[in-house]
Structure 1
Amino acid sequence: MKNYIILLLLAFSLTGFAQEVKKGEKTYEVKKEKIFLNGEDVTTTLSVEEKEVIFKEAAVISEKLKKAENAKKAAEKLEKEKKKAEKAQKKAEKAQKKAEKALKKKEKLQKNYKKAQDNLKKAQKKYEKLKKKGKLSPEDEGKWLEKIEKLTKKVDKAKGKL
């Protein structure tokens, strides 16, 4: 596709603003309102009918070139729009991945918080149970209180991360 566009551009630039019109075996070159044959101005030597025919053919060729140019511009515009759409899609995918990652992180933090709370409750329950039965020595009681304090800090830390 790009090669065709380049060839079309090359052909357009080589012909410039002059149109080559073949009439019989002669090739006329039309620039603005003048007709050239082999580089010489022959506008005045041609009859009115011949001029009209040559100008009409030049207009047809010019119109074809304009259509080709418009088609090329439309193709370029479509290509740009396609690239924009691809870029927007990539951006949307990236945003979606980021949102999914954030959601997973939040779920993990909630899970950790719940786990820390459960551990704290278990430890407090066990401490209270042992204390009621009177099976705690002063040394063991200190260890249990220290453990409960650590677990409380863990719960506070997990809550802070949420």
Structure 2
Amino acid sequence: MKYYIILLFLAFSFSSFAQKVEKDGKTYEVKKEKIFLNGEDVTETLNLEDKQTILKKAAAISEELKMKEKAEKAAKKLEKENKKAEKAQKKAEKAQKKAEKELKKREKLQKNFDRAQNNLENAQSKYEKLKKRGKLSPVDEGKWLEKIEKLTEKVEKAKKKL
């Protein structure tokens, strides 16, 4: 692709040095106010009117080439800006996905914390009920206290992660 662009610029640069103008079925070549026909300088042999007409046409062609070159530069600049904008958009999308992922992670951690806290509260209330009724043996009471301790540790871990 780069080679094609370089080739294109070379073609434009060669054509910008000499403009070819057709008048009366003949192709004249204009280089810096000199008019050539078949490689020979015919500037002095042409009458003033023909000379001015050919020079005006050459100037118009030269101006047209300049306009095309400006348009190409503008198009390249626009393409570059579009690429920049696409890059920025991709970056923004990536940041948004990262933020969404972080939000989901936080929600999951909050859910785990709430669940652990709820389990702890349920176990504590059940333990208190059984203790009040006197239905706990010393072995069962040790198991319940151990269970409550583990649940408390889970709540603390979930709180730290959150």
Same fold (TM over 0.5): yes
Q: Is the 8 A contact 1:109 1:161 kept in 2?
A: yes
5+ residue gaps, structure 2, are none
Paired positions, count: 158
Displacement of 1:41: 1.8
Counterparts of residues 146-161 of structure 1 (less than 5 Å): 146-161=146-161
Q: Is the 8 A contact 2:20 2:29 kept in 1?
A: yes
2 CA distance for matches of 1:57 and 1:42? 16
Give, as a single letter, the amino acid of the residue that structure 2 aligns with 1:124: Q
2 CA distance for matches of 1:72 and 1:147? 76
Structure 1 length as normaliser, TM-score?
0.87
Displacement of 1:154: 0.2
Report the secondary structure of 1:140's partner residue: helix
Q: Is the 8 A contact 1:28 1:36 kept in 2?
A: yes
Structure 2 length as normaliser, TM-score?
0.87
Q: Is the 8 A contact 1:120 1:151 kept in 2?
A: yes
Matched residue, 1:138: 138
Displacement of 1:61: 0.7
Moved more, 105-114 or 40-49: 40-49
Displacement of 1:82: 2.1
Matched residue, 1:53: 53
**Structure 1 vs Structure 2 CA RMSD:** 2.1
Give, as a single letter, the amino acid of the residue that structure 1 aligns with 2:89: Q
Matched residue, 2:102: 102
Give, as a single letter, the amino acid of the residue that structure 2 aligns with 1:34: K
Displacement of 1:14: 4.4
1 CA distance for matches of 2:106 and 2:74? 48
